[in-house]
A and B are shown apart, each in its own frame.
Chain A
Amino acid sequence: MPPSDPVDDAGRVLRADKAAVSRALNLVEDKRADAQDRVAALLASLKGAPRAIGGHRVGLTGPPGVGKSTLTSAFARAVRARGRTMGVVAVDPSSIVSGGSLLGDRARMSFDPSDAGLFVRSLATAGEVGGLAYAANSAVRVLAAAYDVVMIETTGVGQSEIDIVHVADTVVLVIQPGSGDVLQFLKAGIMEIPDILVVNKADQEGLARRAVADLQGALRTAQAVGASGREDGDWETPIIPTSATEGTGIEELIDTVDAHRKHLEPTLNARRHRGEVQWALDLFMRKHGEHGVSTLHGLAEITARAERELDNGETPLSLCERLSREYVATLCQTS
């Protein structure tokens, strides 16, 4: 029996049928040309799902080795214990040389394989600059239609958070005591201020206290230079010490993540909308570069169009497809 088409499977995705969710994720990873339309159709049919609208997309990011996988694992267990379902997209880098990857997040996670309410998919960056895998944006949207909470876990400090801001409602940055890079990036305003800061490995007590103090200082400096610039300016970035191995601070982290979601409520749609616009632009620019943008009358014009048309039920993928066709058509006319 040939596998059923993921687009027809949308209903089963909404019911969080793991086989259907998995096939849908395979499809969004499919780079063949004929897959693009089907992905666009799939995402369009999942867009209005109640979970997708009411749920929460949490981005978890931080430098390598701070214990993100273990933290994700502890977070997922605690979310499940609160009776909510959860989907995870764990993104790992691909080898520049071979294009292959080692996706090791599962090795650090302990979970119950018979739990129907938890789904973990590992993705490789596949050479994408910016840290998020080619398919991660779409994958998040698939999981958001099926699960209450979706977590996107990525590695990086600095520029790579920009991608995650576009796809997550709440960005959690994880660091460990003594990581100087983050402080420097924050102070210099290179890095956007995350919604929540986590100091993991807080079992190293003295170090952790100092790290929290350092971060508070860095946040003040960053706010002074105006690095925030986000609309939810009245949200004070909390700093939460956790120890993923000892299980401390996890409940507080979930409470804080929930509080941020609540805080977002009035502006959530605007934030997600802006993320979609940005994603559509990124997709288009990745495909056609500066020349594509200038041919279609410049960035401001495309952005305005994206904002309008995404309101009318279009998805970033389908919009990008349409812009691509226009661009190609223009090229053909002029030549």
Chain B
Amino acid sequence: MAPSGKHERDKPWIMRTYAGHSTAAASNELYRTNLAQGQTGLSVAFDLPTQTGYDPDDPLARGEVGKVGVPISHLGDMRALFEGIPLEQMNTSMTINATAAWLLSLYIALAEDQNADRAALRGTTQNDIIKEYLSRGTHIFPPAASMRLITDLITYTVIEVPKWNPINICSYHLQEAGATPTQELAYALVTAIGVLDAVKATGRIPDSEFGKVVGRMSFFVNAGIRFVEETCKMRAFVELWDRVTQERYGVTDPKQRRFRYGVQVNSLGLTEQQPENNIIRIVLEMLAVTLSKDARARAVQLPAWNEALGLPRPWDQQWSLRAQQILAYETDLLEYADLFRGSEVVHAETQHLVESAWAEVQEVLDRGGAVEAVKTGYIKQKLVESNAARLRAIESGERVVVGVNAYTEGAPSPLIENLDDAILTVDPTIEKEEVAALERWKAERDASAVEGAIAELQRVARSDENIMPASIAAAHAGVTTGEWANTLRAIWGEYRAPTGVAGATVKAARSRAAAEVVDRLRKRLGELEVRMGRRPKLLVGKPGLDGHSNGAEQIAIKARDVGFDVVYEGIRVSPEQIVASALEEGVHLIGLSILSGSHLALVPEVVERLRAAGLSDIPLVVGGIIPEADAERLRREGVAAVYTPKDFELDHIMSDLIELVDRQHAAE
């Protein structure tokens, strides 16, 4: 190394774009375009039915098919997805969790059909079902069964597909759910510890080989806008992981102790107001995970500038990819050794995070570890509290968000002159086509082979054998995603995770003005209660398969804090359930939260069912990522109000809700 710290250019990180939508064939076309543009790996986004184990013809899949990713129901879909892409040469990242063992089985079956060498397959399955209970919400089974699936996949690939990253421990979604840097570090580490302990307990890996398992663990991390702190967070991760792997698992090979991670920078902080500013946020957030050579990401994917408006188009994703390419290839970043080694400031902040995170790690371990702290709701409640504090800081202006609570005036953005063209819309006929294609697939396969494969899957699920070989055989036999998941559901059951909202405590507003606003809302609500005889009761529901519950949780907590009785049902409830709950609970108001883009299918169904149940006089409001044209249509169909990410002032929303109940009461 030259004295200046200059050295030969480092190899850049893997650049990915999280992509997939509509159908396997359409996604395949997109992948080939992205690869031609210089993208160096694939990142597959699956639609919610695939993620939660439903076929396109399942009633719960309604409105969700092909929306947030590609639907993969069987081997034929997997084949179409990678048409013309040799798997042996690809590095494929699959964002898949509850059904990870199944999707990897389809991938391996396809590789076998291509006569590819299993041992040559490279890529990642996310396979972190623990965080699904806390944030993303696509879990299916109870924690013990989920942990079994996780460890089955890990112990299988470590031996059979040795270059595969079997799990990507996700701190990403913890931050999206509100985690502070300390919490993000701590909860990701306790998850990793929980998984490694469980792998150890299977007894399938000899102690002498355990270092290999540790060496295959990888992480999926978030990077927010406070990029100095985020830089230190990444350095703290490296240090803490080295400590855990050495002290707890006795790994001696430093290569196996390396903290390997991929990144998607923060989507939650992207704004609907002045959305062009987001590209600047995205670039700054990328710095946190690339500037430190000693803690640099191995793979980076960036969101698109318009994610808060709707689904990004290929051009929007290309713009983000260009940002990575400019940093990696135009700038001199990769010519230097670590920039922060020896910096007192960075060192001090890193140590502060190391210590606070380590204390929280001990706290969770004392409570019985990650799985126990998920089951009791401890971690979830901590996240909900942090998120409430974050939102309140934005609402009060204590935390500046340019274009949202500061510098809001400005020239209109030419990028969104024609707003409806500035996002991608998924053709609604796709769902029907996918259902028809599924029927054809089922008609053409060998029914007795399917039956045999499912019987074998049942036998293995009841035993303590690894689920992977039976799943790969089922993939070859033509079993579908829904069939695989339903077989296991019948044996292991389903699980509804703690919501964390009931026990969440929110500190009182700091400023007097903010406290006065809340007092006024409480007073109005109290007066309304006296007139109505009953305290206003609000039902908060999340229809569809989307499990991003932050918005619904925060509305529920805020509504309680201004005095509503709030019935919160958690994630994944059908329109039928929502209407049944509204009827049984005798609510005065219903709020729905939908972020997956399936609002046009789900909301009218709720409206229709309310009418059929004689409940159409209950006002209905909807929140989510909803383009204005759709919002207008929903209002025409009887929705009283539509809220989108730009409505960050919860006090305003609460005021509207009280007003709606008041008006309805006056009308009766």
Please, which residue of chain B has its CB at the minimum distance from the CB of A32? B533
Judge whether B501 and A103 touch: CB under 8 Å: no
A246–chain B nearest beta-carbon distance, Å: 7
Known: A26-B534, A247-B493. A100 touches B559 (CB 8 A): yes
Known: A98-B562, A109-B496. A120 touches B568 (CB 8 A): no
Inside 8 A of A247's CB, which chain B residues have their CB? 493
Is the CB of B377 closer than 8 A to any CB of chain A? yes
Known: A30-B533, A246-B493. A107 touches B568 (CB 8 A): yes
Judge whether A126 and B535 touch: CB under 8 Å: yes
The total of chain A residues at the interface (CB under 8 A) is 44
Is the CB of B275 closer than 8 A to any CB of chain A? no
Judge whether B499 and A107 touch: CB under 8 Å: yes
Judge whether A104 and B576 touch: CB under 8 Å: no
Judge whether B534 and A31 touch: CB under 8 Å: yes
Please, which residue of chain A has its CB at the minimum distance from the CB of B541? A106
Q: Which of A17-25, A166-174, A324-332 lines the interface with chain B?
A: A17-25
Judge whether A106 and B581 touch: CB under 8 Å: yes
A39–chain B nearest beta-carbon distance, Å: 11
Judge whether B561 and A95 touch: CB under 8 Å: yes
Inside 8 A of B586's CB, which chain A residues have their CB? 22-23, 25-26, 29, 121
Is the CB of A238 closer than 8 A to any CB of chain B? no
Inside 8 A of B563's CB, which chain A residues have their CB? 98-100
Q: Could you say which of B142, B556, B614 contacts A19, with CB atoms under 8 Å apart?
A: B614
Binary contact track B317-344/A, C-beta < 8 Å → 1, others 0: 0000000000000000000000000000
Known: A19-B583, A103-B566, A203-B144. A245 touches B577 (CB 8 A): no
Inside 8 A of B496's CB, which chain A residues have their CB? 70, 107-110
Distance in angstroms between the alpha carbons of A114 and B584 in the assembled complex: 12
Distance in angstroms between the alpha carbons of A97 and B562 in the assembled complex: 9
A100–chain B nearest beta-carbon distance, Å: 4
Inside 8 A of A114's CB, which chain B residues have their CB? 576, 580
Distance in angstroms between the alpha carbons of A174 and B564 in the assembled complex: 29
Distance in angstroms between the alpha carbons of A18 and B535 in the assembled complex: 21
Please, which residue of chain A has its CB at the minimum distance from the CB of B576? A113
Judge whether B565 and A100 touch: CB under 8 Å: yes
Please, which residue of chain B has its CB at the minimum distance from the CB of A64? B503
Distance in angstroms between the alpha carbons of A119 and B570 in the assembled complex: 18
Known: A99-B563, A102-B556. A22 touches B584 (CB 8 A): yes
Binary contact track B553-574/A, C-beta < 8 Å → 1, others 0: 0001101111111111110001
Q: Could you say which of B498, B526, B574 contacts A99, with CB atoms under 8 Å apart?
A: B526
Judge whether B561 and A104 touch: CB under 8 Å: no
Judge whether B565 and A124 touch: CB under 8 Å: yes
Please, which residue of chain B has its CB at the minimum distance from the CB of A29? B534
Is the CB of A92 closer than 8 A to any CB of chain B? yes
Distance in angstroms between the alpha carbons of A25 and B565 in the assembled complex: 15
Of residues 90 to 138 in A, which have CB atoms within 8 Å of B's CB atoms?
92, 94-95, 97-104, 106-110, 113-114, 119-122, 124, 126
Is the CB of A35 closer than 8 A to any CB of chain B? yes
Is the CB of A65 closer than 8 A to any CB of chain B? yes
Inside 8 A of B562's CB, which chain A residues have their CB? 98, 100
Is the CB of B579 closer than 8 A to any CB of chain A? yes
Binary contact track A166-190/B, C-beta < 8 Å → 1, others 0: 0000000000000000000000000
Judge whether A107 and B142 touch: CB under 8 Å: no
Q: Could you say which of B142, B565, B577 contacts A246, with CB atoms under 8 Å apart?
A: B142
Is the CB of A266 closer than 8 A to any CB of chain B? no
Please, which residue of chain B has its CB at the minimum distance from the CB of A95? B560
Distance in angstroms between the alpha carbons of A102 and B555 in the assembled complex: 11
A329–chain B nearest beta-carbon distance, Å: 26
Is the CB of B647 closer than 8 A to any CB of chain A? no
Of residues 44 to 103 in A, which have CB atoms within 8 Å of B's CB atoms?
64-65, 70, 92, 94-95, 97-103
Is the CB of B494 closer than 8 A to any CB of chain A? yes
B581–chain A nearest beta-carbon distance, Å: 6
Known: A18-B583, A18-B584, A120-B584. A2 touches B560 (CB 8 A): no
Judge whether B583 and A65 touch: CB under 8 Å: no
A262–chain B nearest beta-carbon distance, Å: 30
A201–chain B nearest beta-carbon distance, Å: 8
- Which of B375, B576, B613 has most A Cβ within 10 Å? B375
Please, which residue of chain A has its CB at the minimum distance from the CB of B503? A64
Inside 8 A of A119's CB, which chain B residues have their CB? 584
Distance in angstroms between the alpha carbons of A202 and B143 in the assembled complex: 15
Please, which residue of chain A has its CB at the minimum distance from the CB of B566? A102
Please, which residue of chain B has its CB at the minimum distance from the CB of A124? B565
Inside 8 A of B568's CB, which chain A residues have their CB? 102-104, 106-107
Q: Could you say which of A32, A70, A100, A122 contacts B535, with CB atoms under 8 Å apart?
A: A100
Judge whether B533 and A31 touch: CB under 8 Å: yes
Is the CB of B376 closer than 8 A to any CB of chain A? yes
A75–chain B nearest beta-carbon distance, Å: 15
Distance in angstroms between the alpha carbons of A124 and B568 in the assembled complex: 13
Known: A99-B526, A122-B567. A113 touches B142 (CB 8 A): no
Judge whether B614 and A65 touch: CB under 8 Å: no
Please, which residue of chain A has its CB at the minimum distance from the CB of B553? A102
Is the CB of B280 closer than 8 A to any CB of chain A? no
B500–chain A nearest beta-carbon distance, Å: 9
Distance in angstroms between the alpha carbons of A121 and B537 in the assembled complex: 12
B508–chain A nearest beta-carbon distance, Å: 8
Judge whether B561 and A121 touch: CB under 8 Å: no
Known: A19-B614, A106-B569, A113-B574. A99 touches B535 (CB 8 A): yes
Is the CB of B247 closer than 8 A to any CB of chain A? no
Distance in angstroms between the alpha carbons of A106 and B493 in the assembled complex: 18
Of residues 277 to 324 in B, which have CB atoms within 8 Å of A's CB atoms?
none
A116–chain B nearest beta-carbon distance, Å: 10
Binary contact track B400-437/A, C-beta < 8 Å → 1, others 0: 00000000000000000000000000000000000000
Judge whether B535 and A124 touch: CB under 8 Å: yes
Distance in angstroms between the alpha carbons of A95 and B526 in the assembled complex: 14
Inside 8 A of A30's CB, which chain B residues have their CB? 533-534
Distance in angstroms between the alpha carbons of A107 and B557 in the assembled complex: 14
Distance in angstroms between the alpha carbons of A63 and B464 in the assembled complex: 35
Is the CB of B207 closer than 8 A to any CB of chain A? no
- Which of A95, A101, A110 has most B Cβ within 10 Å? A101
- Which of A25, A35, A122 has most B Cβ within 10 Å? A122
B546–chain A nearest beta-carbon distance, Å: 16
A191–chain B nearest beta-carbon distance, Å: 23
Is the CB of B585 closer than 8 A to any CB of chain A? yes
A308–chain B nearest beta-carbon distance, Å: 32
Inside 8 A of A65's CB, which chain B residues have their CB? 376-377
Is the CB of B668 closer than 8 A to any CB of chain A? yes
Of residues 529 to 563 in B, which have CB atoms within 8 Å of A's CB atoms?
533-535, 556-557, 559-563
Binary contact track B464-491/A, C-beta < 8 Å → 1, others 0: 0000000000000000000000000000
Is the CB of B159 closer than 8 A to any CB of chain A? no
Known: A64-B503, A65-B377, A122-B567. A108 touches B498 (CB 8 A): yes
Q: Could you say which of B495, B557, B565, B668 contacts A103, with CB atoms under 8 Å apart?
A: B565
Of residues 482 to 529 in B, which have CB atoms within 8 Å of A's CB atoms?
493-496, 498-499, 501-503, 522, 525-526
Known: A19-B614, A126-B535, A246-B142. A98 touches B522 (CB 8 A): yes
Distance in angstroms between the alpha carbons of A21 and B565 in the assembled complex: 20
Judge whether B502 and A121 touch: CB under 8 Å: no
What are 24 A-B pairs at a CB distance below 8 A? Answer: A18-B583, A18-B584, A25-B586, A64-B503, A70-B496, A98-B560, A98-B561, A99-B563, A100-B560, A100-B563, A101-B566, A102-B557, A103-B568, A104-B568, A106-B569, A107-B499, A113-B577, A113-B581, A120-B584, A122-B565, A122-B567, A122-B585, A245-B142, A246-B142
> Other CB < 8 Å A-B pairs besides A100-B564, A103-B565, 9 of them?
A26-B586, A35-B533, A64-B503, A100-B559, A100-B561, A108-B496, A110-B496, A121-B584, A121-B585
User: Which residues from chain A sit less than 8 Å from chain B, CB to CB?
Assistant: 2, 18-19, 21-23, 25-26, 29-32, 35, 64-65, 70, 92, 94-95, 97-104, 106-110, 113-114, 119-122, 124, 126, 203, 245-247
